[in-house]
Amino acid sequence: MSTTSIDSLQHEERRFPPSEEFAANAVASSGLYDEARADRLAFWAKQSRELLHWHKDFTQTLDWSNAPFAKWFADGELNVAYNCLDRHVLAGNGDRIAILWEGEPGDSRSISYAELTAEVKRAANLLTKLGIGKGDRVAIYLPMIPEAVVAMLAVARIGAVHSVIFGGFSAESIRSRVDDASAKLVITADGGWRKGKVSALKPAVDAALAKEGTHTVENVLVVKRGENDVDWVEGRDLWWHEAIADVDAEHEAEAFEAEHPLFILYTSGTTGKPKGILHTSGGYLTQTAFTHKNVFDLHPETDVYWCSADVGWITGHSYVVYGPLANGATQVLYEGTPDLPHPGRWWEIIQKYGVSIFYTAPTAIRSFMKLGREIPDAFDLTSLRVLGSVGEPINPEAWVWYREVIGGGKTPIVDTWWQTETGAIMVSALPGVTIAKPGSAQVALPGISIDVLDEAGNAVPVGGGGLLVVSEPWPSMLRGIWGDPERFKETYWEKFGTALFEKPKYFAGDGARLDEDGDIWLLGRVDDVMNVSGHRLSTAEIESALVSHPIVAESAVVGAADETTGQAVVAFVILRSDQSEMQTADEASALLRTHVSDQIGAIARPRQIFIVAELPKTRSGKIMRRLLQDVAEGRAIGDTTTLADTSVMQIISGQLGSTNG
Ligand code: WT7
């Protein structure tokens, strides 16, 4: 973070040594580092066998001969859902609670491993009955209700591939994802509870499928949650509760190859088209289970775990569904917004269920900080023993507040760096082992090789900034971009390339700095990707949404620093010449904010849109976003000498001073 206030420097210098409570974990965890250092592949093979049930054991741990296309545990066979469900029941833990679900309006459900297993078996039979088989793609567009977890696991159980689409995405976004993956089935709900009211979901699916062109969807399976009225397409639409009532309750999990695809999850890249990140089975489950157990020091018999992420993001896939369930954890699942019906709702939930491990994003922590500590102080949070952070760099002030106010000044905080592409946590302290350093994600996990390199591929000296790379393949790594192997190679592997005799390294897209202790500090993205509230957005995607509106001639989007959300979307728009007269800048800006929201989803709606007469461009026509970022962040404008027309920035800032100032 660039916030170098005196306050932040003071916090940065603070060190938090591990407490006594974690002594046992410290010994075990240091052993993991030693083992991994001695033989990385043997380490992962051992972890995989210890953490998972393999229907057929593997003989080869890693095949990297066709780099960058990795195969982990390739000749082994397993069933991911069996690992998350049946085996816990068979081990005598069927009565253990898997999900403590809390609906926004205050309704709740508690679901044991035996019950969840039974529900997934029936859902698996239902999917089969609907003609879904091994390898078929199923799109899931659901609120945070238990059926979201059931649907994902049922798809996995029959060897189909899920593509979960975050409930905040628009019809347009649904359709492009459904088309890209050729999904045969969509699982949705009438609506879900959000911000104190029912927010409809099915209409977006209906609109997506009504768009022109042919699509591959045969059925839409609808969970009843919102009780809102919905339109119905006879022959296509089915109510989940009706359809599941008449299927068989027994279902035997078949084993699939370790590299069988598990899911596709779309994320924003540097172009206008989201990429379908592909994850497979054995390696993904190994690393999500390993990290969930060790990063959070999980004791499944006694811990109550809560990750606040939505299943529509990778955090929800890895740390709501697969990691925790593979480990037999008991977890809270919450449907709604953090502040309803009162601003202490989250803390009330922690108190109600005795949550001991809590994992959330810095944006949430910063919003609570703003509201003041009186709100969390009114609840008993003493059950908490490990806190996690993910999604963006956490500024030291927020880190210290999180530990003092939420963690009662005693809990370790694990700041976990990873990505949709990495599938699981890669860089994090281990509670009880690492001396915590607020603001730093700290060190690579056992079995993970991270380097910070300069543009030429050389290691940066201590204190220096560079680019974060993963230097060795890892079990939960993405296996590709759905339907686009070239983009996969280009985006991640060519920068620190496949030169002769050199092993390809994964380029993460993040800047990082190494300090004198070897700790890693993340410095944010170095590409045209923004991070808003821990969610990834692409400048190009928002720009193309803007220019798709008839009043827009040109647009440029930047991520500007934002006190709460980390970054915020700020757009600069040139209107078509026949339009500038038609409406005021404020009207145009309001219209376009809504348009972006309709095109992509509410999370992409710009915080501000500036209507301008010019955009700063180099002689070759490239927009200099850096200068726009200066404007958006209210800074003095940087070096403009490479602009084709050096007066442009004066025009823009002069104009903004008068119209938007
Ligand atoms: C990008 C990945 C991984 C789950 C949520 C986001 C940023 C993530 C941290 C962290 C600093 C972080 C990076 C990364 N990021 N965690 N602990 N410290 N930055 O997943 O949408 O794939 O975004 O989020 O910039 O590249 P994602």
Question: Residue 535 C-alpha to ligand 1 middle, in angstroms?
Answer: 8
Question: Residue 315 C-alpha to ligand 1 middle, in angstroms?
Answer: 10
Please work out whether the CB of residue 509 comes within 6 Å of at least one atom of ligand 1. yes
For 465-498, what is each residue's pLDDT tens digit? 999 999 999 999 999 999 999 999 999 999 998 6
> Greater confidence, 640 or 132?
132
pLDDT at 643: 85
Give dist(CA 233, CA 120) in Å, integer. Answer: 26
pLDDT at 12: 65
Please work out whether the CB of residue 331 comes within 6 Å of at least one atom of ligand 1. no
Helices 171-181, 202-210: crossing angle, 10 deg rounding: 60
Please work out whether the CB of residue 533 comes within 6 Å of at least one atom of ligand 1. no
Please work out whether the CB of residue 441 comes within 6 Å of at least one atom of ligand 1. yes
pLDDT (average), residues 214-233: 98
Return the closest-CA partner of residue 300 out of 380, 356, 346: 356
For 563-583, what is each residue's pLDDT tens digit? 999 999 999 999 998 876 778
pLDDT at 271: 83
| pLDDT higher than 60, residue 436 | yes
Q: What is the mean pLDDT of the chain?
A: 93
- Ligand 1 pocket: which of 307, 510, 528, 541 to mutate (most atoms within 8 A of CB): 510
533-656 placed in CATH 3.30.300.30 = yes
Which secondary-structure segment (H or E) carries 155?
A: helix 146-157
71 vs 284, 475, 595, CA distance in Å? Answer: 11, 9, 42
Please work out whether the CB of residue 419 comes within 6 Å of at least one atom of ligand 1. yes
For 368-420, what is each residue's pLDDT tens digit? 999 999 999 999 999 999 999 999 999 999 999 999 999 999 999 999 999 99
Query: Residue 119: pLDDT band by 50, 70, 90 thresholds?
Result: very high
Please work out whether the CB of residue 310 comes within 6 Å of at least one atom of ligand 1. no
Alpha carbon nearest to ligand 1 atom 17, residue: 417
**Contacting residues for 396 by C-beta, under 8 A, at least 6 apart:** 8, 11, 12, 14, 438, 439
pLDDT (average), residues 50-61: 98
Domain spans, the chain = 466-522, 533-656
Query: Residue 506: pLDDT band by 50, 70, 90 thresholds?
Result: very high
pLDDT at 1: 38
Please work out whether the CB of residue 336 comes within 6 Å of at least one atom of ligand 1. no
Alpha carbon nearest to ligand 1 atom 12, residue: 392
Please work out whether the CB of residue 29 comes within 6 Å of at least one atom of ligand 1. no
Question: Residue 395 C-alpha to ligand 1 middle, in angstroms?
Answer: 14
pLDDT (average), residues 170-175: 96
Residue 323 has, within 13 A of its CA and on its CB side, a CA count of 28
Please work out whether the CB of residue 391 comes within 6 Å of at least one atom of ligand 1. yes
pLDDT at 414: 96
| pLDDT higher than 90, residue 598 | yes
